[in-house]
Amino acid sequence: MISKESILSKTHYGLGIYSHILRLYYPDEIVLRLVGRDCGLCRNPFNANRETLHIFIVKENVLGNTLDNEFARHEDSENAIPVGDVLNFAELHYKQQGEELLQILNKELNLRIGEEKNFYPKRKAFVNPDKPLQRFGTTFSFFKAPVSNIKPHSETTLRKVYNAITGNYYKDRTEKLRAISDVAQARKFKAANFDYCTFSGVFTTRNDKALVKHSGLLCVDFDHLNSLETLFNSLLQDDYFDTQLLFRSPSGDGLKWIISIDTTQTTHGDFFAAVANYILQAYGIAVDKSGRDISRACFLPYDPQALINPKFLK
């Protein structure tokens, strides 16, 4: 059953709904910038597009502890619209209330609440249910540092990558990277010292045109997160995608989320676009667009808290 709580739980406290509606009015703009729990002032389509809309996250003081519910609210600095929550805001756009409004949001944001886990409405499933998500022996290319080296060193697997990043092999270089405060110097150090892999396939050289075989994997890259651990736990419980591998980025402020896709249904690029849209709607976060590239390089850090799908440990 669709409820306000189920809608908010899939839209990052409701921020995904605010973002969706605002993008309908301002499709070529970054409509929200979340810093901590505050988005600052945004353009208000219900106040002559003036930058008077203030969106922020509050905690509902019910239990008086960390288990209290959190949700997004808004106010207008010129009082052009009443103070309220995201459903009040959605009512202004959709001109609907109650159950009708919840049904519209569920459909418009592809939340699929109360339905089978089908990402594409016209397809039986995001990943073909009659085909294994990924064979345990599926491989992809591994490259030794520096990143300018585009010839693969070997083929590797998720289990081997997991063992490498949870062990001590990359510990020293990861700690050195995180101690560098200058952004340009940190980027240069990472490019020169970190091994990397192309999770989406095996290549003769790191170039989309040099793909030998697709791995059935997609690496989703989240950068500069304010609530990294919250997202980490949310991704592990995602209703649509089973995590294959999840770890923190070399810089320590981002995540690398490896999921399975079925490229017999559509192209790698189309899958990435659909997944990116889903994440934006469900979590209110824009992912790194470089994930569209099949030969996308992913640096391997030290992360002893990384998690892998248990099936790979059997």
Reference 176, options 161, 192, 157, 163; nearest CA is 192
| The pLDDT value given to residue 137 | 56
| Length of the chain, in residues | 314
> Is 268:218 a contact under the CB 8 Å cutoff?
yes
CA distances from 116 to 10, 12, 182, 268 (A): 15, 21, 47, 23
Q: Would the pLDDT of 36 be above 80?
A: no
DSSP 126: S
Show the DSSP H helices in the chain as ranges.
4-9, 15-25, 86-94, 98-108, 158-166, 171-178, 183-193, 228-236, 268-283
DSSP 253: S
Grade residue 115 by pLDDT with cuts at 50, 70 and 90.
Answer: low
Range in 111-125, 126-140, 150-164 the model is least confident about:
111-125
Arithmetic mean of pLDDT over the chain = 85
Most confident by average pLDDT, 33-37, 71-75, 189-193:
189-193
Would the pTM count as exceeding 0.95?
no
Grade residue 290 by pLDDT with cuts at 50, 70 and 90.
Answer: confident
DSSP 63: S
DSSP 210: G
15 or 136, higher pLDDT: 15
Q: Would the pLDDT of 22 be above 60?
A: yes
| The pLDDT value given to residue 23 | 85
Mean pLDDT along residues 43-63: 85
DSSP 130: T
For the stretch 232-244, pLDDT in tens is: 988 888 877 889 9
Grade residue 61 by pLDDT with cuts at 50, 70 and 90.
Answer: low
Range in 19-33, 165-179, 300-314 the model is least confident about:
19-33
Which residue carries 């003036």 as its tokens? 50
| The pLDDT value given to residue 127 | 42
Residue 70 gets the label, from left (phi > 0), alpha (psi -120 to 50) or beta, of beta
16 or 158, higher pLDDT: 158
Measured torsion, CA atoms of residues 55, 2, 62, 84, in degrees rounded to the nearest 10: 30
Euclidean distance between CA atoms 142 and 159, whole angstroms: 13
Mean pLDDT along residues 221-237: 87
Say which amino acid occupies 199.
Answer: F
Euclidean distance between CA atoms 186 and 196, whole angstroms: 16
Residue 70 backbone dihedrals phi, psi, to 5 degrees? -115, 145
Percent of the chain at pLDDT exceeding 70? 89
